[in-house]
């Protein structure tokens, strides 16, 4: 009879311990150990290692003899997804897509596989029934006869379906619902997620069949399950966005076959997700002429340049303590920019409420929008509108200088494409420009020079 054994496993790194400990000795996190029940078969014989080594087919090769050719990729018929994956889906790769509940992970994958009628696809759902998937597919108005649906949570049965159907692509929704009979723990536990992911990876590498896993995230915003799950897979994609806004962003956190600087933007609609090839036109409103507190910045997310609208509102503080609020922008950086305005430029904003908003519900971390932030704040404070044909980019230092930013040619090209007439940029970026543009470039060195060119 098999012996039952209880171990404690760290939910962050997967380290096992025979007893509960408060702080994990491996990763240093607190209160991450959870109890797991595993079944160990009694073993009376010692494993023989030497015969296994003799039968090994893989031999060490010199690095110069290894062929590093281009990996063949599968076209997903989705330009945004292909870009984030690095040009398409690599055969034999394991891709993990995570995101908040209801953000559109299953919709993105389902509409993608329905666009691939030339491939035989097995869609394994552990959360929804076949009827629910059929209703979603009808709503997406796309049908594919070679997309096979299997509602299963047993790993062994999934491999039976794969053996019988021999698909070109396998989708598992989600990895937290899959369990194996070799372990006694419940589905979604640390050991189940780890062992199931390792078995699926072994199948993908041996059969050269790509597998897409859909994963949940926890309340901290990270992928649920052990951290080992992210180490096992080849690519980790994060699907994020606000449910109250229609835009969704697909980021690459880890990619063994491409760059992690790529970014995909989608628009959530009634009939599914629509690719946004030019996000600048959607993020800019066309009716802000004559309105104060609005500045246009040329930002870069990943390697894609797009223009965003920075909105600011400055008013007298009604209560004793002035309020500082920012949506889509770091509040601490906004406080630093307010201190620069007061110390270096001389504008007194200590007794005024300041509200900042990045239009469209985006969260931007690019320091190049500092110049547009302080320009929008000053425009609202003076109640003077900025010309609608002016775009800007520049990082603001603590001494009030405008520091250079990267990829200035791409930023200028995006502004010129959308019809802007003037572009305010750091003076040091003017030295490295080689391409000729029709847009008027206004180089500035300090914050005062930028304000003088904007407000006269």
Report the binding-site residues. Answer: 99-106
How many whole angstroms separate alpha carbon 278 and alpha carbon 276?
6
How many whole angstroms separate alpha carbon 11 and alpha carbon 97?
19
Contact call for residues 345 and 382 (beta carbons, < 8 A): no
Q: What are the φ and ψ backbone dihedral angles of 441, each rounded to 5 degrees? A: -95, 130
Listed in sequence order, the residues at least 6 apart from 410 whose beta carbon sits closer than 8 Å to its beta carbon are 300, 305
**Is the peptide bond preceding residue 272 cis, with omega within 30 degrees of 0?**
no
How many whole angstroms separate alpha carbon 147 and alpha carbon 136?
14
Coil vs helix vs strand at 75: coil
Q: Could you tell me which residues are beta bridge partners of residue 318?
A: none
How many whole angstroms separate alpha carbon 309 and alpha carbon 386?
12
Neighbours of 225 (CB within 10 A): 27
Listed in sequence order, the residues at least 6 apart from 397 whose beta carbon sits closer than 8 Å to its beta carbon are 340, 403
Q: Could you tell me which residues are beta bridge partners of residue 38?
A: 5
Contact call for residues 33 and 24 (beta carbons, < 8 A): yes
Contact call for residues 98 and 215 (beta carbons, < 8 A): yes
The binding site for ATP consists of 99-106
> What stretches of 7-129 show up as alpha helix (H) in DSSP?
49-54, 79-85, 105-114
Give the 3-state DSSP-derived string for 190-228, with helices as H, strands as E and coil as C.
Answer: HHHHHHHHHHHHHHHHHHCCCEEEEECECCCCCECCCCH
How many whole angstroms separate alpha carbon 92 and alpha carbon 90?
6
Coil vs helix vs strand at 368: helix
Q: Cα(first)–Cα(last) distance of the chain, in Å?
A: 87
Which DSSP category does 319 fall into? S
């Amino acid at each position: 009879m098999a012996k039952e054994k209880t171990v404690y496993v760290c939910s962050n790194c997967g380290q096992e311990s025979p007893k509960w400990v408060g702080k994990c000795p491996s990763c240093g996190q607190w209160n991450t150990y959870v109890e797991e029940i595993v079944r160990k078969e009694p073993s009376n014989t010692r494993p023989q290692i030497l015969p296994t080594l003799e039968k090994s087919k893989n031999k060490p090769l010199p690095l110069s003899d290894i062929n590093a050719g281009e990996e063949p990729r599968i076209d997903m018929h989705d330009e945004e997804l292909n870009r984030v994956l690095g040009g398409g889906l690599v055969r034999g790769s394991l891709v993990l897509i995570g995101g908040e509940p209801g953000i559109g992970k299953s919709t993105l994958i389902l509409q993608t596989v329905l666009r691939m009628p030339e491939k035989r696809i097995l869609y394994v759902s552990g959360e929804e029934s076949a009827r629910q998937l059929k209703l979603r597919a009808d709503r997406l108005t796309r049908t594919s006869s070679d997309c096979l649906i299997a509602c299963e949570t047993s790993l062994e049965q999934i491999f039976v379906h794969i053996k019988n159907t021999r698909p070109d692509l396998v989708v598992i929704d989600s990895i937290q619902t899959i369990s194996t009979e070799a372990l006694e723990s419940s589905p979604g536990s640390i050991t189940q997620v780890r062992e199931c992911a390792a078995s699926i990876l072994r199948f993908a590498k041996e059969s050269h069949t790509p597998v897409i896993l859909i994963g949940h995230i926890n309340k901290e915003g990270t992928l649920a399950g052990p951290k080992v799950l992210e180490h096992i897979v080849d690519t980790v994609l994060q699907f994020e966005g606000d449910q109250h806004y229609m835009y969704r962003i697909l980021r690459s956190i880890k990619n063994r076959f491409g760059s992690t600087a790529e970014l995909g933007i989608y628009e959530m609609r009634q009939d599914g997700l629509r690719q946004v090839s030019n996000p600048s036109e959607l993020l800019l409103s066309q009716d802000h002429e004559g309105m104060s507190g609005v500045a246009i910045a040329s930002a870069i997310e990943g390697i894609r340049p797009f223009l965003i609208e920075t909105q600011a509102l400055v008013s007298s503080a009604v209560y004793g303590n002035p309020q500082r609020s920012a949506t889509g922008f770091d509040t601490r950086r906004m406080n630093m920019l307010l201190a620069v305005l007061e110390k270096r430029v001389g504008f007194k904003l200590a007794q005024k409420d300041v509200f900042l908003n990045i239009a469209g519900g985006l969260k931007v971390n690019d320091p190049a929008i500092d110049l547009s932030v302080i320009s929008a704040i000053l425009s609202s404070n003076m109640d003077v509108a900025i010309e609608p044909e002016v775009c800007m980019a520049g990082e603001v230092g603590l001494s009030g200088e405008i520091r250079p930013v990267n990829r200035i040619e791409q930023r200028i090209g995006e502004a010129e494409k959308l019809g802007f007439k003037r572009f305010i940029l750091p003076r040091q970026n003017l030295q490295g420009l080689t391409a000729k543009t029709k847009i008027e470039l206004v180089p500035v060195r300090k914050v005062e020079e930028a304000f003088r060119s904007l407000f006269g």
